[in-house]
Structure 1
Amino acid sequence: MKIKYLLTLVLIALTKFSSAQRNDILQESTKYEWPTDPTVKQKLDAWQDKKFGMIIHWGLYAVPGIIESWSICSEDWIDRDSTIKYDDYKKWYWGLSEKFNPTKFNPEQWAKAGKSAGMKYLVFTTKHHDGFAMFDTKQSDFSIAKGPFSTNAKKDVAKYVFDAFRKENFMIGAYFSKPDWHSQYYWWDKYATADRNNNYDIRKNPWRWNMFKSYTQNQIGELMNNYGSIDILWLDGGWVRPLASVNEEVLSWGAPIPAWSQDIDMPKIAADARKAQPGLIVVDRTVHGQFENYQTPEQKIPEKQLDYPWESCMTLGGAWGFVPNDQYKSAGEVVHKLVEIVAKGGSLLLGIGPKADGTLPDHVITRLDEIGKWTSKNGVAIYGTRITKNYHDGQNWFTQSKDGKTIYGISLIGITPNKEISWQGSMPKKGSPITILSTKQKVKWTLKDGKVHFNFPKTDEKIALTFSFTPETN
């Protein structure tokens, strides 16, 4: 049996890297509703200055190093060892709670690594779909604070994660899964668990669903009232939503849609949360309207510039959480994605996964440090900027200062070294220089055939060259 379980883990790990098999990836939308609360607008504007964040997936799935939560879901894109009964697999997975003992838990290491990379905000998974809480909830015994880690002084993991990142001046976001596959109020043992949705007809069992609503509201209430200042409530599991909000976009996911409404009363959740955390940004992913204060296309970048708040959430490696022998993106690839995202008006939320012992993999720390070597010299073209009309030409991307007085250009460096930088649009003011940000060197430019030209300066930069100029219109 142990051999079979090991084979299962290998299969699931491989599934994680095969994006073609996944149908839980969220695409971009074209619908957005600006918040009306001035305090939320103010917080949202501050968040739009940050541009680069870290999302941390950490939970039971780190113990065997497999895909987060989804292996216990019974949908046809999930791959498991066919010789193992589904109920036996779920029992094994739930049993990981008795083995999860991260005695080297080091959130300070995570925060310092994020700061080193130039990250400015955090989203931490307080609870994923499997229902295992990474905080000391009073609503359930299924949490990190109730297992073998319960005797550790840092058993209330979320508290120490948030504290560590606050000390490094990060904005703080709490990821929370609306579905909870461990709760009897969501996946009721009376019935089989056929898919990601709750497995009973809410219309026939209103008491049970009302209990789930209270359970969910109470857990979110704990996070909003007991863990200091929170800037973002990042809600995942977009299939838990009012039935009336299911549209063609939702149907395009290919996920099953039940005949009843999985409404958890978002107006109450948001009002209660903002009473505790004034100005809180609420991100009810894919449920467009007043509770989706910014949008979250996943593992992709929108094709065109968007003029409302959004972020691309992407993994540093192939997985959201920790898996052995993961293959990580190069610093150059991450920076190039960051540049494109910011020029299109978004932010990059980069996903990393700590190991089961509570530390980051060495390769993650190294890669974040490499990214930081670029952001530390060139961040002025990224942080606190806004979109500009002529935002892209060839290998060049453009942003501007919030007051519009300065244009920043970022020229991506590929395999072949650049000999000249040229672009059309976003003309510098006549007679003014272009300044290379990393060296403060001022260079002369020429205008030829409607394009700006200047020679690529002597530099050791191998990822992207940044420069600034006063635009012609000022």
Structure 2
Amino acid sequence: MKRKIIVAALLVCAFCRLSAQENGVHQQSTVYEWPSDPMVKQKLDKWQDKKFGMIVHWGLYAVPGIIESWSICSEDWIDRDSTKTYEEYKKWYWDLNKSFNPVKFNPEQWARAGKSAGMKYLVFTTKHHDGFAMFDTQESDFSIAKGPFADNPKADVAKYVFDAFRKEGFMIGAYFSKPDWHSPYYWWSKYATPDRNNNYDIKKNPWRWNQFKGFAYNQIEELMTRYGSIDILWLDGGWVRPLETVNAEVLSWGANIPKWSQDIDMPKIARMARKAQPGLLMVDRTVHGPYENYQTPEQKIPDTQLDHPWESCMTLGGAWGFVNNDQYKPASVVIQKLVEIVAKGGSLLLGVGPNAEGTLPAEVITRLNDIGKWTSKNGRAIYNTRITKNYHSGQTWFTQSKDGKTRYAIYCRNVGENPAGAISWTGNVPGKGTVVTLVSSGEKLKWNTVNGKTTVELPTNLMGAEAALAFAFTPAN
């Protein structure tokens, strides 16, 4: 027992060294292709109204509380417990399925916390790169529904997660890893597993790769046909892609690229998925083209405004999944990131991780509730908005209603700052005679514009704890 505790502690420490590099695994595509399907475009517009979502990483890695999947990958940036051989380590990791028994599994708690924060859509990890399915797949026994949790009424975890969030009005997204490191058709035991890619030459072993293509297709089909209405198929593992899409941009990421094509026939998958789920948004991350309906920069915000759909996927803490003693961002930091992202045309997908028992840590709940205190009063400046040409002035960011009739100025306070009676911005001048209101209260405020600089007088009773102040007005033009 003592040895297991030491190993787990070493792995948590290893996570701390890994996170900064792992967070950059997925870069952002620089090319975007608008969808042509009217139903997809309609769904995309609906998704762009939501602005704020929750991504939940939950799997085997929650048991010891370590980085999700990556510790079993053998790349030079990964640091593991040095007392185990690589093969011993992988066996230890795979065997976590024998002890993963989340007896307090409570997706309703997750959904309530997300709704409290003001989140509007969910992305749930049905399967990460380690291949452990968080749904009752018929394609593999490596599943939450086949281990100690099998006799629990909620053993088909994904079904109950999706149902809980649907009841709270969320759009539903299914995260699915294209690579599967547990599958013998992806990592063949005949060979070593040197990196994240499949470990055999597909050109020389077409039968084996075709088996993997069928396996991936069948699992996605299960998700698309057995779990109710799905709005988003969020596909991770962008290195699994047709070789012809591996260009200079992809090579610049520094990932090891094999000499063969890891093509899993995305057109065939898309036809099946959209037949089952008309209008489905597909997010084939980093593989720009018809199946990357929005872009997903990871752990960062683009430097400038983008005029096409995108989301920043970022963690609330330092990890995607549950890690003991994780350090969570203050609510004010998340709120200000949300404001900047929305002003630049994106959405924020915030990552949280339930623990091995199936509940969110109390500190996560507290953070989400604190974020919700702001979104509940200021959401009009965030949800159902679109970008403005002049979107930034100092500490102030701008959005506008979809019809363009109302503009919002959102002033992000510095830590400890309490504006002395007024704030100012340049550009986005209110129209003559316009009423400027404080969004959180509806209170009318005095204002004036001199030489393009607008100054708004603040209420004397304004609370100093607000992370951001939102104002509504009609623009002059």
Into which bin does the TM-score normalised by the smaller protein fall? Answer: over 0.9
Q: Does 1:462 align with 2:470?
A: no
Structure 2 residue aligned with 1:432 = 434
Task: State the one-letter code of the partner of 1:470.
Answer: T
For the residues of structure 2 that align with 1:233 and 1:441, how far apart are their CA atoms? 42
Shift of 1:255: 1.4
Aligned counterparts of 2:278 and 2:437: Cα–Cα separation in 1: 41
Alignment partner, residue 184 of structure 1: 184
SS in 2 for 1:368: helix
Q: For structure 1, which runs of at least 5 residues remain unmatched after alignment? A: none
Q: Equivalent pairs: percent with the same residue?
A: 72
Task: Determine if contact 1:25/1:299 at 8 Å carries over to the other structure.
Answer: no
Equivalent position amino acid for 1:462 in 2: E
Q: Distance in 1 between matches of 2:149 and 2:258?
A: 38
Match of 1:286 in 2: 286
Q: One-letter code of the match for 2:417? A: T
Q: Does the Cα contact within 8 Å between 1:61 and 1:69 map onto a contact in 2?
A: yes
Could you tell me which residue of structure 2 aligns to residue 222 of structure 1?
222
Aligned-residue offset at 1:413: 1.5
Deviation at 1:433, TM superposition (A): 1.8
Corresponding residue for 2:105? 105
Deviations 1:37-86 (A, max 9, x none): 00000000000000000000000000000000000000000001223100
Q: How far 1:27 moved relative to its partner?
A: 2.6
Count of aligned positions: 472
- What CA distance in whole angstroms lies between the structure 2 residues aligned with 1:334 and 1:218? 38
Separation (CA, whole Å) in 1 of partners of 2:11 and 2:450: 56
Unaligned runs of 5+ residues in structure 2 are: none
Structure 2 match to 1:445:
447
Residue 49 of structure 2 contacts residue 384 of structure 2 at CA under 8 Å; is this kept in 1?
yes
Q: Distance in 1 between matches of 2:242 and 2:120?
A: 33
Given that 1:344 and 1:387 are in contact with CA atoms closer than 8 Å, whether structure 2 keeps it comes out as yes
1:123-272 matched pairs, under 5 angstroms:
123-272=123-272
**What displacement does 1:3 show?**
5.1
Residue type of the partner of 2:468?
A: A
Deviates more, 1:78-87 or 1:33-42: 78-87
Q: Which amino acid aligns with 2:447?
A: W
1:221, CA displacement in angstroms?
Answer: 0.0
Deviates more, 1:72-81 or 1:248-257: 248-257
1:11 match: 10
Map of 1:55 onto structure 2 = 55
The answer to whether the 8 Å contact 1:11/1:79 transfers is: no
Q: C-alpha distance in 1, partners of 2:313/2:155?
A: 28
Q: Which amino acid aligns with 1:418?
A: P
Contact in 1 for aligned 2:445/2:458 (Cα 8 Å): no
Counterpart contact for 1:286–1:292, Cα < 8 Å: yes
* Contact kept? 2:149, 2:155, Cα under 8 Å: yes
Aligned to 1:417: 418
8 Å Cα contact 1:51-1:347 kept in structure 2 = yes
d(CA) in 2 for partners of 1:290 and 1:405? 33
Q: Distance in 2 between matches of 1:123 and 1:356?
A: 19
Matches within 5 A, 1:295-374: 295-374=295-374
1:24/1:91 Cα in 2 relative to 1: closer, same or farther (>3 Å)?
A: farther
- Helix, strand or coil for the counterpart of 1:40? helix
In 2, distance between residues paired with 1:316 and 1:223? 27
Describe the superposition over 1:366-396 as per-residue Cα deviations: whole angstroms up to 9, x where unpaired.
1100000000000000000000011100110
Q: 1:171 to 1:64 in 2, by over 3 A?
A: same
Q: Name the stretch that deviates more: 75-84 or 159-168.
A: 75-84
Moved more, 140-149 or 429-438: 429-438
In structure 1, how many angstroms separate the alpha carbons of the residues matched to 2:60 and 2:181?
Answer: 13
8 A Cα contact 1:7 1:81, kept in partner: no
TM-score (norm 2): 0.97
Distance 2:52 2:169 in 1: 13
Aligned residue type for 1:270: A
Give the partner amino acid of 2:449: L
* Contact 1:8/1:80 (8 A) holds in 2: no
Does the 8 A contact of 1:296 with 1:312 survive in 2?
Answer: yes
Answer yes or no: is the 8 Å Cα contact 2:24–2:299 preserved in 1.
no
Kindly provide the CA deviation profile for residues 131-156 of structure 1, in whole angstroms up to 9, marking residues without a partner as x: 00000000000000000000000000
Cα RMSD (Å): 1.1
Once superposed, which parts of structure 1, at least 4 consecutive aligned residues long, lie more than 4 Å away?
A: 2-5
CA distance, structure 2, for counterparts of residue 163 and residue 92 of structure 1:
33
Rounded to whole Å, the distance in 2 between the matches of 1:249 and 1:418 is 44
Change (3 A) 1:443 1:24: closer
